[in-house]
Every structure is written in structure tokens, then in C-alpha cells.
Amino acid sequence: MKSKKSALGRGLDALFGEIDQAYDNEGSQQDSILELSLKDIRPNPFQPRKTFDEESLLELAESIKNDGLLQPIVVSEDIDGYILIAGERRFRASKLAKLKTIRAITISTNEAKMRQFALLENIQREDLNAIELAYAYSELLKLHELTHEELSTMIHKSRTNITNTIRLLQLSGNTQKALIEKKISAGHGKVLVGLNDKQQQVIVNSIVGQKLSVRDVELMIKTIKDENLPAHKKPTVVSYDLSEIKERFDSLGFSTKSSSNKITVEFNNENQIKEFLSFFEN
């Protein structure tokens, strides 16, 4: 198994260089750059990214109209035209710009490589949302039978980051949708893993409605978990009569608040602190 994984790993490493090599050859092999009709190109069916920022695409479309396409897309020839391998945003923006053709570099590939190219291009450029990235990592692990540590070395991401990102796939459909729509952050999503669907929905609603930070959510989850503990496992809160101590502090001019087992002293200025400390000097 180890030799199989090593071979697959070397194959994955090699993939990183193929598109870069195609671009490197662009300057010295201008005849390999084609001007293709946009209608003859179809998207990579294995593209992991499902959502594209419309405003960003419109900006890119305007740039392409004004300055031209600075970097060609990469395609592979197919029976009925071409399949897009790299450059999905440039392809979509060119269509938005109402262009008829686009500059492209052709490479030879197959279905397995098309899937890998789509995953790697997006992971490298960090264009995916957290859920799409989780699916991309998961797909690469399955394709190459890799461990999280091996994938970490190959794509230069920390193993912890890969593991935590993949765990987002355990979230409910509604929570994943909130992540994709950027209503909550990946940090929020990571602390929600392990809660049931109903608990996730309550907290997601709270994050959106109350603009909760990740720390706020962690405290909220702790409260939920404490409430769900069996009675014999819940911490015992001892209650004391602190009224006499509170009255004494109040008589000395200190503002205090008390609960079942603690008193909080509030100070208004530095002089009050010094006065308070003076009671302990002798």
C-alpha cells in the first residue's frame, strides 16, 4: 500500500507543474496559443467551485474589455470542441464581456486529470468557499488514497487546516448553506461541528441576528452542553449568605454586586483602590 500511495503522490506532484509548464511555454511557442470560439468551450464538469462572485466577475469582464485577456485559459481538445481545464473566471468574464473568442493553450489530458486539475487550480488560488474547499480536499484524499498528513505536504496546507476544513462536511445542510452564503464564517462552522441540526440552526440564527463572534458562539455552545449534562454530572453550585460582607463593603463606600458564592467590588478611581488595599496593610 505504501508504494501505491507514493506513486500516486508523485503523480499528484507532477500535476502541479503541467499547467505552469503550459504557461511557461506560452512566450516561446506562440503558435500553440489558439483563438477559440467561446461557444466551442464547455466548463470542466469536475469544477468543484459552484458559486462565483458576480461583482468580481463584472470587474474582471470590464478589465478584459479594456486591456484584453492577459493570461490565456487552458483547454483540452474534445470530440465536439474543447473542455476548460484552467481559467474558469476568465472564461465566465469573457462571456459577460460579450466577446466571441478567447485566447487558449491546449494540453493533452484525460478524465482523471481533468478532475485533479480542477481541484488543484482552485485550492492553489484559494477561490473556493469553505464547503467547496472541504469537498475538494475530500475528493483528493479519495482519488489518491492519501492521509491528511500526505495531502498537507503536497498542497502546502497544514494538516490541522485540512482536517478541520473537511469536518465542515459534518454540518447540517442549512448550516453549510449559511457558510456558502457567507452569513457565518468558517471559524463559526468549525465550532458548530458536533451539535445536532436544531442546535446548529438556533446558533446560526443567533450569529446572523446578533453578529456573534466565534468566541461568543463557543460560550453559547458551552452553556448548551452544560444544560444537557445529566444531573449527577452538573457542577454543584454552593450558595452562601454573603449579605453581611456586602453590607460592610457598602458601609465603607465601595460599590459591590453579589451572587450565590461571590462578591464583585467595583472601583471608580485609583484612590478607591488604594483605600481598599489599605484595609489589608495591618
Q: At what angle do helices 197-210 and 173-180 cross, to 10 degrees?
A: 30
Beta bridge mates, 33 = 105
3-state helix, strand, coil in the chain (%, to 5): 60, 10, 30
Name 13's Cβ contacts closer than 8 Å, sequence gap at least 6.
154
Give me the count of residues in the chain: 282
Evaluate whether 149 touches 159 at the Cβ level (below 8 Å).
yes
CA dist., res. 84 & res. 86, Å (int) = 6
Evaluate whether 186 touches 179 at the Cβ level (below 8 Å).
yes
For 12: left if phi > 0, alpha if psi spans -120 to 50, otherwise beta; the answer is: alpha
Question: Residue 59 catalytic?
Answer: no
- Of 18, 88, 132, 150, which one is the catalytic site residue? 88
3-state secondary structure of 47: coil
- Kindly list the distances between the CA atom of residue 10 and the CA atoms of 50, 133, 149, 203, 278, in Å, as whole numbers in the listed order: 29, 22, 15, 43, 72
Name 234's Cβ contacts closer than 8 Å, sequence gap at least 6.
226
Catalytic residues: 88
